[in-house]
Amino acid sequence: MTENRPNQEHDAFAIAKDALRLIGQFKTPPTPNVYRVWYRYVEGMDQELVEQLAPAVTEARSISVGLLESIHSQTCDPADETNADVGEALVAELNRFQSLLSQQQAAGTEFEGTINTASKLLNTAPSDKNSADCIAVINAGATLMKQQLNDASEKLVAAKNQIAKLQTELAQSKRGMMTDHLTGIGNRRYFDAQVRQTIQSLEYCSGCVYLILMDVDHFKTINDSYGHDAGDQVIRFIATEISRRHPNVSLSRLGGDEFAVILQSNSAWEAVQFADKLRGHFATQKLNIMPSRTPMGSLRISMGLAKLTAKDDSQTWYTRADAMLYRAKGSGRDQVAIEEECMPV
């Protein structure tokens, strides 16, 4: 949901300028970790980070370095640094690969010089001795070239294997950056990428595409009554159940208890039925908090739907779905809301 969410339309320079302004305003030292937290706050893409800082910023309360360092450790993924390290290693290995290719070319050029030398010996004064010298020069050159090529070939194979290994590590690191570590489903970064891809491919989609935003009604009460570990169990349960029931939909956790589904559907009615059946499923599940098996009851979930149109960008599509989620909350919770223009007459 969107309260206190900073403007996401800033370019990188404006974001950096705003981050530095906040560093000065709250008198926090411009260390890399502190700057990174403020930058991501202004950027507005990490909802969990925004929700932690927004109240203090809005009310102009003091913000300690300890709080910023804590937020950094919780929300700034170390996979970013891993990804950079692997990328640098991959570049270094590719440079080594290029160097080995150059060595092979140099060996070929050297052998060409050997042939030219032998040719000159024959052309200058043909004789049995010169012929023998010519053959010896060619044999020596061929032997040297064979040794150089064999050595280079072994190094090229090793470099190729190392590059393949680094490419795999880079792909795994990128996947890690797209994964919510509590649930194993996509995170906000994954969601943003999926939204961009969906918008770009809209003209090739058959049917309609809907964004469904959902969150747990009175989730704070669950945390307050049963503890944050119980809240984490609820979040994992929701992710597991949606993944199990609908393995082919794009599912993301946006932060806290908010989830997003990108659904391809034939009609608004079908999309609403999908959402309402999911809502009804959670309403019938009697949950127990483990390991104590303390009864917690069932979950009430509100959902908002918005159909993707040709005029939408990432922000407008999300904003419309978010408005529908607010409507569901404001109309009594535990229900599904969709824009009227999406519903069939």
**Structural domain boundaries of the chain?**
12-76, 80-177, 188-342
CA 113 to chain centre: 53
Strand runs labelled E in 184-257: 208-216, 250-255
pLDDT digits (tens, 9 = 90+) for 202-224: 877 777 999 999 999 999 999 89
Q: Give me 314's structure tokens.
A: 């990432």
Query: CA of 289: how far to CAs of 20, 239, 258, 259, 296, in Å?
Result: 44, 16, 20, 21, 7
pTM equals 0.55
pLDDT digits (tens, 9 = 90+) for 19-56: 888 888 888 887 777 888 888 888 887 777 888 888 88
pLDDT score, position 155: 67
**179 - beta bridge partners?**
186
Are 77 and 180 in contact by the 8 Å Cβ rule? The answer is no
Cα 234-236-240 angle, rounded to 5 deg:
120
Chain mean pLDDT for the chain:
78
Query: pLDDT 10s digit of each residue in the chain, 345 long?
Result: 444 444 444 466 677 778 888 888 888 887 777 888 888 888 887 777 888 888 888 877 778 877 887 777 666 655 555 455 555 555 565 556 656 666 666 666 666 666 666 666 556 655 566 566 666 666 676 677 667 666 766 666 666 666 666 556 555 555 567 788 889 898 988 898 889 888 888 877 777 999 999 999 999 999 899 998 999 999 999 999 999 999 889 999 998 899 999 999 999 999 999 999 999 999 999 998 888 888 888 999 999 999 999 999 989 999 999 999 999 999 999 999 998 765 543
What single letter denotes the amino acid at residue 106? A
| Fold of domain 188-342 | Alpha-Beta Plaits (3.30.70)
CB within 8 Å of 19: residues ≥ 6 apart: 35, 38, 39, 41, 42
